[in-house]
Structure 1
């Protein structure tokens, strides 16, 4: 990663800290207070040792100093606790905000863009990589200010007492951040590679785990296990490289800190035996001065050492932020900017020279010209890849387009997508249910739906046929990938969900493609009743049911090649070929 990109990512990370500025300021303020208490602690400790060793003072006469020292220690402990709490809240606030940014962008991009990457990589982006930003905001950013404030306060305290030790501090202090930066540049690049390897491993593992039955049937489990082993080995190497650089950074910082403290100790040692006679202001160096400065010496470098330790957190954050920023900056034009909210009680659609585009701008379908009247039923047919799903995705607002696509007199890209989608009831060929109960899945679009409404749509979708046989009824839990339910049962729940939405436009993407005969019959009955009087666009693989539609559109290579009533176009063109092919398959069966 080049330096300009690192600077840009660091700038982006710092810009996010504005959201948690009160927590950040509180963390720095508490740490500064702790630094002042540290100086008081060093002074009390040096005073007690000087009085006990040199002045031979009675220990009972020093009781106030002992009490003061204990109180300072307790106050510093309280400051450390409070600093950790406020630092954590700072990081937590920003992590929540960044996760919300990612979720909002996923919502804007829609399923077409999301399906372009493995599910595991999204999980890694949203969970692990955002989590790696915590220490940057909770520790590194506050420490940047603390690493300046505390040493300056100590220098201001030490210079009036002994300018030589203050000069040693001043000269040796820059060595720590200098070598920290040298190691940190390499660490940032190692973290970036580590996160890339983690994304690949997460996506690979999730996809293979989901497809384990298929791998077993094709006897590919051993081969895929070997590939998974290689991917995990790569990730292990990347992780060990990051740890190696982290330990190297700590070792370098400890080395230069120890050297600097040793120089201060040697100076005072030679001063006490009379070999060095400079650094003071005329008065001889006392044990109090030496102890006071030597107690402060490790604490002078400690903020810099902590900054070096947390510099690894900065490297982690930069590595994690690269993928996050790339994702947030990728903004395909899906037409999400609209604010228009026309009346959608009845839906009409008009397209002129419509070209549906992929998120990166390639033409997927078009140019298309068509008119859909209110209450009209349209059947879309064609081979796989003909452009049917692309057209539906443009209509739903998941894909950008060129040309004109007008809904109720308003250009679709000018519509408020929230308002538009509230008028759509959608049923796809692969029903997606979520963790929760059957009731939760039916009431997805309307969590406040009354029991009467839910029972009504259950009856319409024939969900009650199998729910009554379940011990828990509507409270029956739904597992991952519709676990515990058959495909037909899950599809009937999806139809009930669409019925509860009660949209003016029904979009059906082969809703019976994966069903058995019994479930297909029930779902078709439900949909036929539900779409009466509603505008409906349906992708269909059942050519024998097309005569019930007002229009049939035959698509091929992204274009509508035939358009009209089924009886008018069934004997010619591509539709005739498709019907003949279907008849041959039925005869062969």
Structure 2
């Protein structure tokens, strides 16, 4: 990974730590108190052993020290437990905050942007990659601070009693972080590639799982099985590479910590054998000094070793942060400094396009330029062959695609409107009804406080009230995943009831009767005709015989507006619309 990019990602990660609140500082505080406790523990142990072994004092003389030692051990255990709990809380708050930010960003960018990548890859970002930030904040960042404080504390108590031991500790300490950095240089890049492989595998597997029926019909199961096997093998190899890095770094750190402690032990051993006579300020080498320093030596290197152990958490977090930062920094169709005008309207919305070009998320022109107008209260139909740009135009009106030129809503530029207040006046019904796990009442109300009578009124308007009343549980009739529990036509009418509850001034309808039988189609269309009274509507449809009563029809072809007018006008003139109508009649 490029070092500049790695630094940028590291800064971004540290900027997010405010989400941990005070818990991150509490984690460090408990670690500091643990450092003081271990110094006290080493002092008490060395004092008792020196008195018992060298000075031959009775055990009863150290009752106070023994009780204090038990208290220090209990205190260290309590501090360690509290530190783990608090660090977990810090990581949990961070994950919750980042995940909510990611979901808010996806809502802001809209369905067009989301559909640009497989559903599995989004699941990987929202779930796995956010989870992989936990150890960076819960363990690595606190350990970074403790890796400096605890060794300095131990040096501060060792140097006054033996400068040679202090020099050995001070000289060998940099070996651990040095080799940790050398071994871990490629860890972030390995994790980044691993996340990319996981994202591809998740997206590939999710899409094939959703299209399993189609794959069986076309006898493509074996081919897709091989593709999934190849993606799985790539993910396996990259995961092994990450684990190899982690195990190698741990082994190197353990080796150098053991060597450093061995050097210290050799120094004290030769000193006690009178082969070495320096470092004790002329006061002589005592068992207390040797035990005190040797007991502290593993604790001196432990924070550095822990930092090395958690270093892979940093590499893991940097690998995850790349996709997260790219997503959260992605600019939608609104600039950060764009004006935001609250939108209100008591009348049907008017739409005026002047040289408008609809743009894809990457800036390519999908449709236009178009110059046309819809007066408030008019019923507009948009028709044309597949790929003409009909859905792109709807997504632009919904605020999910950017545009060039001018799009005026009630005389105000669409790009300057506050999206939330603008969409409050919209009702949308697509060709794929989307119901959520819950009850019929929950799906119609969508979080609003609505009485049963009000919900039944909407259901009656959508021509599905009788079906709901016939169910034993009524409004509490359960809806499963993927609209399980109702037919496609019933699901479409339930979605229509939900749309009718918006009291909208603009209905945006994208093939609302697609995949419906003739009975369901007639019921939905009649309900829409009644609902659109007193509101503007924009309807995309391929059923041209149902457009006789529409006020205006726009005919799109190849991203251009090639015809516009009412049904009779367009039928009377040669062009694409009359050709489409004749083809449909002959079919």
The interval holding the TM-score normalised by the smaller chain is over 0.9
- Look up the match of 1:130: 130
Work out whether 1:567 is the aligned partner of 2:568: yes
Q: CA deviation digits over 1:336-380, x for unaligned, max 9?
A: 855212432221111111111111111111111111111110111
- Look up the match of 2:546: 545
- Look up the match of 2:410: 408
Separation of aligned partners in 2, 1:91 and 1:476: 39
- Look up the match of 2:524: 523
- Look up the match of 1:170: 170
SS at match of 1:506: strand
- Look up the match of 1:48: 48
Q: Conserved in 2, the CA contact under 8 Å of 1:334 and 1:398?
A: no
Residue range with higher mean Cα deviation, 374-383 or 146-155: 374-383
Alignment of 1:396-545 (within 5 A): 396-444=398-446, 446-545=447-546
Q: CA deviation digits over 1:244-273, x for unaligned, max 9?
A: 110100000000000000000000000001
1:533 Cα shift? Answer: 2.0
Work out whether 1:351 is the aligned partner of 2:353: yes
Separation of aligned partners in 1, 2:128 and 2:241: 18
Give me the CA root mean square deviation: 1.2
- Give the number of equivalent residue pairs: 584
- Look up the match of 1:62: 62
- Look up the match of 1:208: 208
Among 361, 364, 370, the alignment partner of 2:363 is 361
Q: Conserved in 2, the CA contact under 8 Å of 1:192 and 1:316?
A: yes
Separation of aligned partners in 1, 2:480 and 2:433: 13
- Look up the match of 2:31: 31
1:335 Cα shift? Answer: 6.7
Work out whether 1:316 is the aligned partner of 2:304: no
Q: Conserved in 2, the CA contact under 8 Å of 1:261 and 1:297?
A: yes
Separation of aligned partners in 1, 2:339 and 2:481: 35
SS at match of 1:547: coil
Q: CA deviation digits over 1:103-161, x for unaligned, max 9?
A: 12111111111000000000000110000000000000000000000000000000001
Separation of aligned partners in 2, 1:507 and 1:18: 41
Alignment of 1:102-251 (within 5 A): 102-251=102-251
Separation of aligned partners in 1, 2:346 and 2:518: 34
1:433 Cα shift? Answer: 1.2
Q: CA deviation digits over 1:304-326, x for unaligned, max 9?
A: 00000000100100111111111
Separation of aligned partners in 2, 1:132 and 1:15: 17
Separation of aligned partners in 2, 1:576 and 1:20: 64
SS at match of 1:189: helix
Separation of aligned partners in 2, 1:222 and 1:469: 45
Separation of aligned partners in 2, 1:399 and 1:342: 19
Q: Conserved in 2, the CA contact under 8 Å of 1:507 and 1:536?
A: yes
Mark the CA change 1:334 to 1:115 in structure 2 (over 3 Å): closer, same or farther. Answer: farther
Q: Conserved in 1, the CA contact under 8 Å of 2:34 and 2:76?
A: yes
Alignment of 1:266-277 (within 5 A): 266-277=266-277
Q: Conserved in 2, the CA contact under 8 Å of 1:95 and 1:133?
A: yes
Separation of aligned partners in 2, 1:477 and 1:69: 62
1:334 Cα shift? Answer: 4.5
Residue range with higher mean Cα deviation, 297-306 or 347-356: 347-356
SS at match of 1:468: helix
Q: Conserved in 2, the CA contact under 8 Å of 1:342 and 1:410?
A: no
Separation of aligned partners in 1, 2:514 and 2:399: 24
Alignment of 1:244-283 (within 5 A): 244-283=244-283
Separation of aligned partners in 1, 2:555 and 2:93: 52
Q: Conserved in 2, the CA contact under 8 Å of 1:335 and 1:413?
A: no
- Look up the match of 1:101: 101
Separation of aligned partners in 2, 1:145 and 1:35: 12
Among 371, 377, 399, the alignment partner of 1:375 is 377
Work out whether 1:302 is the aligned partner of 2:302: yes
- Look up the match of 2:74: 74
1:219 Cα shift? Answer: 1.2
Q: Conserved in 1, the CA contact under 8 Å of 2:344 and 2:421?
A: no
Mark the CA change 1:494 to 1:21 in structure 2 (over 3 Å): closer, same or farther. Answer: closer
Mark the CA change 1:252 to 1:266 in structure 2 (over 3 Å): closer, same or farther. Answer: same
Output the TM-score relative to the length of structure 2: 0.98
Residue range with higher mean Cα deviation, 427-436 or 260-269: 427-436
Mark the CA change 1:21 to 1:426 in structure 2 (over 3 Å): closer, same or farther. Answer: closer
SS at match of 1:570: helix
Residue range with higher mean Cα deviation, 215-224 or 353-362: 215-224
Q: Conserved in 2, the CA contact under 8 Å of 1:427 and 1:508?
A: yes
SS at match of 2:85: helix
Alignment of 1:323-338 (within 5 A): 323-334=323-334, 337-338=338-339
Q: Runs of 5+ in structure 2 lacking a partner?
A: none
Q: CA deviation digits over 1:374-416, x for unaligned, max 9?
A: 1110111101111111111111100000111111111101111
- Look up the match of 2:289: 289
Q: CA deviation digits over 1:412-452, x for unaligned, max 9?
A: 011111011010111111111112111111112x5212222
SS at match of 1:405: strand
Separation of aligned partners in 2, 1:335 and 1:110: 15
1:21 Cα shift? Answer: 4.6
Q: Conserved in 1, the CA contact under 8 Å of 2:124 and 2:198?
A: yes
